[in-house]
Amino acid sequence: MSGAPPYSRAAAESIRTPTLLLAGANTLPNFVANLDALERAMPNVQRGTIPNATHGLNNDNPAAFNAAVLEFFAAN
C-alpha cells in the first residue's frame, strides 16, 4: 500500500485520454469489479479480456497482451 488516498470517481471521470482496460480471463472478481467501475466512470474506454491469464496478464499471456495493446495503439 502506498498510503495514497483512494482513486475517486471524479478523478476517473476527468480522464479524457483513450484508455485501454484489460483483465485476464481468470482474474479474481475484486480486480474485475475495479475495472467495471472505471469503465462506467471513464468516458473514452476500450475494454478487453486476455485469455488464459490472471491479474498478471502480461506475464501469463504476453502474446495476447501485446496484440491487444498494439491494436489499441493503432486505433488511437
At 49-68, the pLDDT tens digits run 999 999 899 999 999 999 99
Cβ neighbours of residue 8 closer than 8 Å, sequence gap 6 or more: none
Please tell me the chain's helix, strand, coil percentages from 3-state DSSP, rounded to the nearest 5: 45, 15, 35
Q: How confident is the model at residue 1 (pLDDT cuts 50, 70, 90)?
A: low
Closest by CA to 26, choosing from 59, 4, 3, 2, is 59
What is the model's pLDDT at position 7?
A: 79
pLDDT digits (tens, 9 = 90+) for 7-34: 788 999 999 999 999 999 999 999 999 9
